[in-house]
C-alpha cells in the first residue's frame, strides 16, 4: 500500500489547478496525515449517479483532476462500447448548472472528450438538468454529462452521466465506467478554452431548447385559452429554472402578472443565500415564496430545485396557510390527470413508481385496469424499466418518486421539474373547470381509492460503517434472525434487497434487482408498508412509512405509530443516529 506521502506527491504531480494543488501542499507541509488520508486514500466513488461530493482537493472529492479522470475513463468506455455495440455518431452532450465550478468542470470534461476524438454537443450556457438527457435522445448521442449536485449544499458538486438511451446509467455501465476510470494514470488536456475553438464542437442550446419546448407543448396539448389563466408564484430556488419556466408559462398563457417570481431567489446564485438547504422539500425552504404569494394574492406556489429536475407545489387553503403537497400527493395528482386525459388504449397504459413511493398509484391501477410497475429507487431504474415496458408494447406515460421527482417519457426519460410544472398548470386549469382546486381534487381521489398517509423522515448516520451495522443488527435482532414483528404488528412480508430475500415469493427471491452494496429492507404489516434504506449519496438512513385507511386521521395515526416503533426498536440512540430536524 502506498504511503500517504507518496499519494500526496502523486497528486502534486498530476494536479495543474493551483488552488487545489496548494491545498494538498499545505496539508503536506503541516504533516496533517489524518486529513491527507481522508482526501487521498480512497477515490471518489463512481456509481449509478456518477460522481457527487464536496469540492476539495484530493482523489476523494470533486475537483478539476477527478473530473478529468472521470471524463477520460468515460471516454475510453464509450470508445470500447462503440467497437463492441456499433454505437452511432460518437458525440457527448455536456451541460452545467450555476454551482461553483460547474462551468469549469464542464469545460474540462469537454476538453477530455475532444482530446479522445469524440464530438461534443455543447450548450455553452446554464441549463436545467433534464435538457441534457433530452439532447442525448434528440441528437442520438453516445452519452451525456451534466455537472450539477442538484439540491445538495453549496459546497458540493457532481458529475451526472446519461447513456445513449437518454437514461441515467445502471449496472453494468456504472461499474465498468468506474473500472475504466481506475485505469487512468494521466490527463490529456487542462485547456478550458478548447471547447470554444475546436471543430468537433456543436453549440446546441438554441436548437435543443426550441425542440424541448415543442415536446413540452405536445405533452400538454391542447393548450388552454388565455381566459383560463390564474396567478401563481414561482421560485427556482436560486437555480437555473427561471428561463425555461418563463417560456412554459408564456406558452400556457400565464403571462405578465399571472406569473409572479420570488425576486430574492429568481436569479442563479451558487451561495443559496436565502435557504439553509436548497431543496423545496426541506422545512422552511418555501418561506419566501409563501410571503410573496400572500403579498400578491396568488393561491398557488410552484417551485423547482436548483437544477430544476424536481418540482414542488403548495396551495393556499385559508388565509395565511399554504398546504405544501408531498411528492406522493403530487404523484397521484399527476397520475389522475394523465389517466383522465389519456386518449390511447388504456390496456396498454402503464405508470411507474419507485418502491419507496406511495402504493396509492398501485391501488388506482388495480381499480382502473391499467398496468402499474414498481422499481428500485431512482430514476435510473424508472427510466430504464419504462423503456423495457415500451419495447414490450406498453405506453409508459408517467412515473414518479416520492422525493418530488416526476417523469413524462414523451419529453425525457428522467425526472423533469419544468415539464412537471407545465403539466401541473394544465391540470390545475382542468380541475378548475370541474369546480375543484388541486387540494380538493386530491381529497376526491382519497375518497375513491382510499386514504394513504405517510410518515417519511430520515436519520443522520455517523458513518457508512454505522449504517451497515444498524442494518446487520436488525437482520439478527430476533434470536439471531430477522424480526417477526414490529411493536404490536406482525410482519406479514419481509423483503431484503441487500441479501436477496423476499418472504412473499415462491422461491424467496426478490423480483426487483438485488444490490449487496446498498442497504434496503421493506416490510408489510397489514395496512402499513415501510421501507428503510441507506442513502447512496448522503450520510442518511431514510424511512418511508405509508398507511392506508378509511379516513385520513386513521392512516396518519397508524403511520406515526410505526415510525415510533422503528425508532424504539430498530434505530435506537445507541448508534449515534440523529433524527432529521433535531439538534
> What DSSP line would sit under 444-461, residue for residue?
HHHHHH-EEEE--EEEE-
- Tens of pLDDT along 502-560? 999 999 999 999 989 899 999 999 999 999 999 876 789 999 999 999 999 999 999 99
3-state SS, residue 358: coil
CB 235 within 8 A of CB 265: yes
Place of cell 471543430: 199
> Which candidate, 550, 300, 320, places its Cα nearest to that of 429?
300
Mark residue 298 as left, alpha or beta (left: phi above 0; alpha: psi -120 to 50; beta: remaining).
Answer: beta
Tell me how long the chain is.
Answer: 583
The three three-digit cell numbers of residue 207, written as one number: 436548437
Query: Are the C-beta atoms of 85 and 195 separated by less than 8 Å?
Result: no
The conformation of residue 544, written as its DSSP 8-state character, comes to E
**Under 8 Å between Cβ of 311 and 421:** yes
Q: Where are the alpha helices (DSSP H) in 117-261?
A: 131-138, 173-182, 194-197, 205-219, 242-251
| Measured distance CA(352)–CA(123) in Å, rounded | 31
Q: Is the dihedral of CA 147, 153, 156, 158 positive or negative?
A: negative
List the domains of the chain with CATH numbers.
Answer: 1-41 (no CATH), 42-203 (3.40.120.10), 225-449 (3.40.120.10), 453-579 (3.30.310.50)
Active site residues: 150
Q: What is the largest CA-CA distance in the chain?
A: 71
What gap in Å lies between CA 400 and CA 146, rounded to an integer? 21
pLDDT (0 to 100) of residue 581: 67
> Which backbone phi and psi does 119 adopt, to 5 degrees?
-85, 150
All residues at 6 or more sequence positions from 89 whose CB lies less than 8 Å from its CB, including other chains: 119, 139, 140, 141, 142
Residue 439 · residue 317 · CB < 8 Å? yes
Q: Which three cell numbers stand for residue 90?
A: 460518437
What CA–CA distance (Å, rounded) separates 479 from 58?
44
Asked if residue 300 lies in contact with residue 315, where contact means CB atoms within 8 angstroms, the answer is yes
Predicted local distance difference test score (pLDDT) of residue 537: 67
Of 297, 229, 235, nearest to 265 by C-alpha is 235
- Grid cell listed for 516: 449487496
All three cell numbers of 53: 461530493
CA separation for the pair 296, 290 (Å, rounded) = 10
From the list 215, 223, 214, the residue with the least C-alpha distance to 426 is 223
Please, what is the angle between helix 33-40 and helix 4-14, to 10°? 60
Cell of 320: 395565511
CB environment 421-439: b (16+ within 10 A), e (fewer) = bbbbbbbbbbbeeeeebbb
| CA–CA distance, 411 with 419 (Å, rounded to integer) | 8
- The pLDDT assigned to 84 comes to 55
Give the side-chain half-sphere CA count within 13 A for 426. 24
Q: How far apart are CA 184 and CA 205, in angstroms?
A: 31
* Residues near 24 by beta carbon (within 8 Å), at least 6 away in sequence: 8, 11, 12, 15, 36, 39, 40, 57, 58
Compute the Cα dihedral for 458, 500, 48, 420 and give only its sign. negative
Between CA 63 and CA 406 the distance in angstroms is: 30
Within the chain, which residues score under 70 in pLDDT? 48, 83-89, 537, 581-583
Number of H helices, E strands in the chain: 19, 25
Residue 227 pLDDT:
81
Amino acid at each position: 500500500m502506498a504511503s500517504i506521502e507518496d499519494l500526496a506527491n502523486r497528486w502534486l504531480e498530476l494536479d495543474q489547478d493551483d488552488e487545489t494543488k496548494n491545498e494538498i501542499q499545505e496539508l503536506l507541509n503541516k504533516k496533517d496525515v489524518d486529513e491527507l488520508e481522508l482526501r487521498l486514500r480512497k477515490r471518489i466513488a463512481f456509481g449509478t449517479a456518477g460522481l457527487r461530493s464536496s469540492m476539495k482537493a484530493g482523489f476523494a472529492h470533486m475537483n478539476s483532476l477527478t473530473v478529468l479522470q472521470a471524463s477520460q475513463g468515460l471516454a475510453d468506455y464509450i470508445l470500447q462500447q462503440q467497437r463492441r455495440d456499433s454505437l452511432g455518431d460518437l458525440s457527448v452532450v455536456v451541460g452545467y448548472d450555476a454551482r461553483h465550478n460547474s462551468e469549469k468542470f464542464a469545460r474540462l470534461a469537454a476538453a477530455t472528450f475532444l482530446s479522445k476524438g469524440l464530438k461534443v454537443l455543447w450548450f455553452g450556457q446554464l441549463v436545467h438538468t433534464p435538457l441534457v438527457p433530452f439532447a442525448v435522445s434528440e441528437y442520438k448521442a453516445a452519452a451525456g454529462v451534466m455537472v450539477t449536485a442538484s439540491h445538495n449544499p453549496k459546497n458540493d458538486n457532481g458529475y451526472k452521466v446519461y447513456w445513449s438511451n437518454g437514461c441515467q446509467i445502471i449496472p453494468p455501465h456504472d461499474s465498468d465506467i468506474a473500472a475504466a476510470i481506475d485505469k487512468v494514470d494521466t490527463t490529456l488536456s487542462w485547456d478550458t478554452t478548447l471547447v470554444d475553438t475546436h471543430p468537433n464542437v456543436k453549440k446546441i442550446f438554441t436548437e435543443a431548447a426550441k425542440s424541448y419546448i415543442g415536446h413540452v407543448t405536445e405533452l400538454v396539448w391542447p393548450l388552454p385559452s388565455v381566459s383560463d389563466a390564474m396567478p401563481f408564484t414561482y421560485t427556482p430556488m436560486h437555480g437555473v429554472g427561471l428561463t425555461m419556466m418563463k417560456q412554459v408559462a408564456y406558452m400556457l398563457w400565464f403571462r405578465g402578472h399571472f406569473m409572479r417570481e420570488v425576486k430574492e431567489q429568481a436569479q442563479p446564485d451558487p451561495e443559496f443565500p436565502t435557504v439553509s438547504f436548497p431543496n423545496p422539500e426541506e422545512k422552511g425552504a418555501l418561506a419566501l415564496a409563501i410571503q410573496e404569494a400572500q403579498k400578491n394574492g396568488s393561491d398557488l406556489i410552484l417551485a423547482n430545485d436548483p437544477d430544476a429536475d424536481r418540482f414542488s407545489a403548495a396551495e393556499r387553503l385559508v388565509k395565511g396557510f399554504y398546504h405544501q403537497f408531498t411528492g406522493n400527493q403530487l404523484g397521484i395528482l399527476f397520475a389522475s390527470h394523465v389517466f383522465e386525459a389519456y386518449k390511447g388504449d388504456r390496456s396498454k397504459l402503464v405508470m411507474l413508481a419507485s418502491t419507496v413511493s406511495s402504493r396509492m398509484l398501485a391501488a388506482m391501477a388495480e381499480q382502473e385496469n391499467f398496468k402499474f410497475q414498481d422499481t428500485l429507487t431512482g430514476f435510473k431504474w424508472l427510466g430504464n424499466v419504462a423503456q423495457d415496458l415500451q419495447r414490450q408494447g406498453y405506453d409508459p406515460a408517467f412515473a414518479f418518486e416520492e422525493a418530488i421527482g416526476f417523469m413524462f417519457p414523451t419529453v425525457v426519460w428522467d425526472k423533469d421539474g419544468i415539464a412537471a410544472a407545465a403539466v401541473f398548470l394544465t391540470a390545475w386549469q382542468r380541475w378548475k373547470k370541474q369546480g375543484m382546486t388541486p387540494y380538493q381534487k386530491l381529497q376526491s381521489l382519497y375518497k375513491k381509492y382510499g386514504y394513504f398517509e405517510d410518515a417519511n423522515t430520515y436519520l443522520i448516520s455517523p458513518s457508512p460503517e454505522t449504517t451497515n451495522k444498524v442494518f446487520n443488527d436488525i437482520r439478527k435482532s430476533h434470536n439471531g434472525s430477522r424480526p417477526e414483528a414490529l411493536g404490536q404488528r406482525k410482519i406479514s412480508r419481509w423483503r431484503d434487497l441487500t441479501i436477496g430475500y423476499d418472504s412473499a415469493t415462491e422461491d424467496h427471491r426478490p423480483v426487483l434487482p438485488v444490490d449487496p452494496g446498498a442497504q434496503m429492507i421493506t416490510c408489510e404489516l397489514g395496512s402499513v408498508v415501510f421501507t428503510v434504506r441507506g442513502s447512496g449519496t448522503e450520510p442518511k438512513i431514510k424511512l418511508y412509512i405509508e398507511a392506508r385507511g378509511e379516513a385520513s386521521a386513521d392512516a396518519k395515526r397508524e403511520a406515526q405509530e410505526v415510525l415510533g416503533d422503528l425508532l424504539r426498536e430498530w434505530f435506537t440512540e445507541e448508534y449515534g443516529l440523529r433524527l432529521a430536524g433535531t439538534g
